[in-house]
């Protein structure tokens, strides 16, 4: 007949409690691992991003915005790249967004001088500040084809800008050559980035501020003011020339036109008088007496209306006849008598 040893109830409860605690811990660990496993099988890509899915480190596929699924971490990994956003690199200065969305300079300005101070072709030193804006066209190339893509873009931008500025005069970069410098830097940068396979497309390269170094700024400002005064004086002189020259040309044209019109008038009048004289001569040759009397009457008819006082002297009389006045106020009878007397006296 088997024998049973007495068992302490408290020892038995402690043993069971230990077994249950170990099992609970195991279940919790398994649950956490399962939760991590399930939550790592889906991901969301924002509208301005592109997702690069890597399987065991190699690029497997590219996904667009939205909800997507993948194998758990350890098998597949996703990296999000802002392909629809315009990225910006600043050179010679730095900005940060302050409260209220305002942009202000950030950092120590002295630390930017190593980038912004450049030597020009005429051995002058100028302070150039510029920005480079770009977009990521090929996210796979941007992530894996070039190591440190952002720093590579900055190094290329600085080297190209220094070379372009070094091939130009300082006055050209400071004044009229800024647009040409920006265009040349953009073209050369894009060529180098494409050759390197960075997957980046430049949007713009823009010079923000180009100034001489601080120690020579007062002298440069004086030279610049003198140049502006010269340009203003030249512009004022050109404006006056543009106003006076057309005016003089117009007056000359008007004088010439008036002279030509006067010449035509005089020629036409002379031709008319010559034609009239020939007509009168022809009439006179046909009827001398009649023509002579007609000419006399026409002359008297044109002279008498302009006369203020008229005295007619009769060749048979030795005294004046003051009563024969031919004025605007004379009576018709007196005027008729005067015309008769005049005709008689004229004979």
CATH of the domain at 163: 3.30.479.30
Last residue of a domain, one of 175, 192, 212: 212
Query: Residue 334 pLDDT > 50, yes or no?
Result: no
Flag the least confident range among 78-82, 109-113, 141-145, 189-193. 109-113
Q: State which residues form the domain around 68.
A: 9-49+60-75
C-beta of residue 41 within 8 angstroms of C-beta of residue 132: no
The answer to whether 323 touches 334, Cβ cutoff 8 Å, is yes
Per mean pLDDT, which range of 63-77, 139-153, 224-238, 327-341 is the poorest? Answer: 327-341
* 2-57: pLDDT as tens digits: 444 444 554 555 565 565 566 776 777 767 666 667 677 888 899 999 999 999 98
Nearest C-alpha neighbor of 130 from the set 246, 210, 237:
210
Please give the pLDDT value at position 16. 56
> How many Å apart are CA 206 and CA 185, to the nearest integer?
9
pLDDT on residue 305:
76
pLDDT in tens, 245-290: 999 999 999 999 999 999 999 999 999 989 988 888 888 888 888 8
Same domain for 233 and 320, yes or no, is: no
Residues 109 and 66 in one domain: no
pLDDT digits (tens, 9 = 90+) for 96-109: 655 555 555 554 56
333 or 14, which is more confident: 14
Confirm if 224 and 216 have CB atoms less than 8 A apart: no
Q: Do 71 and 185 belong to one domain?
A: no
DSSP characters for 62-103? EE-SEEEE-PPTTTEEEEEE-TTS-EEEEES--EEE-GGG-E
Q: Residue 2 domain-assigned?
A: no
What does the pLDDT read at residue 220? 77
Task: Give pLDDT, residue 42.
Answer: 82
Residues 176 and 267 occupy one common structural domain: no
From its phi and psi, is residue 151 left (phi > 0), alpha (psi between -120 and 50) or beta? alpha
pLDDT higher at 320 or 159: 159
Helices (H) and strands (E) in the chain, counts: 9, 11
The DSSP 8-state label assigned to residue 153 in this structure reads H
pLDDT band for position 312 (50/70/90)?
A: low
Ranked by mean pLDDT, the top range of 196-205, 221-230, 328-337 is 196-205
Residue 301's pLDDT band (cuts 50, 70, 90): confident
Domain termination site, one of 286, 313, 328: 286
Give dist(CA 197, CA 142) in Å, integer. Answer: 8
In the chain, how many domains are there? 4
What is the predicted pLDDT for the residue at 343? Answer: 40
């Amino acid at each position: 007949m088997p024998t049973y040893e007495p068992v302490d109830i408290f020892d038995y409860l402690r043993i069971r409690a230990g077994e249950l605690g170990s099992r609970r811990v195991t279940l919790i660990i398994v649950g956490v691992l399962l939760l991590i496993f399930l939550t790592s099988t889906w991901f969301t890509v924002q509208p301005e991003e592109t997702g690069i899915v890597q399987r065991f480190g190699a690029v497997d596929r590219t996904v667009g915005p939205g909800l997507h699924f993948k194998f758990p971490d350890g098998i597949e990994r996703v990296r999000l790249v802002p392909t629809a956003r315009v990225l910006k690199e600043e050179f010679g200065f730095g900005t940060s967004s302050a409260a209220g969305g305002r942009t202000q300079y950030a950092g120590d300005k002295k630390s930017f001088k190593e980038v912004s101070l450049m030597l020009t072709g005429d051995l002058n030193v100028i302070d150039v500040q510029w920005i480079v804006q770009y977009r990521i066209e090929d996210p796979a190339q941007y992530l894996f084809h070039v190591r440190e893509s952002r720093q590579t873009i900055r190094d290329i931008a600085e080297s190209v800008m220094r070379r372009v500025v070094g091939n130009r005069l300082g006055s050209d970069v400071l004044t009229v050559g800024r647009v040409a410098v920006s265009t040349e830097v953009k073209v050369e940068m894009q060529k180098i980035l494409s050759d390197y396979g960075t997957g980046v497309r430049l949007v713009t390269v823009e010079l923000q501020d180009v100034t001489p170094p601080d120690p020579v700024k007062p002298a440069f400002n004086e030279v610049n003011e003198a140049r502006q005064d010269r340009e203003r004086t030249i512009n004022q002189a050109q404006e006056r020339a543009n106003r006076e020259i057309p005016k003089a040309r117009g007056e000359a044209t008007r004088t010439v036109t008036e002279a030509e019109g006067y010449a035509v008038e005089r020629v036409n009048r002379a031709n008319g008088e010559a034609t009239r004289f020939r007509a009168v001569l022809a009439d006179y040759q046909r009827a001398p007496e009649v023509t002579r009397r007609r000419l006399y009457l026409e002359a008297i008819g044109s002279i008498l209306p302009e006369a203020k006082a008229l005295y007619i002297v009769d060749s048979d009389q030795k005294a004046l006849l003051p009563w024969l006045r031919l004025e605007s106020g004379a009576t018709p009878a007196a005027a008729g008598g005067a015309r008769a007397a005049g005709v008689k006296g004229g004979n």
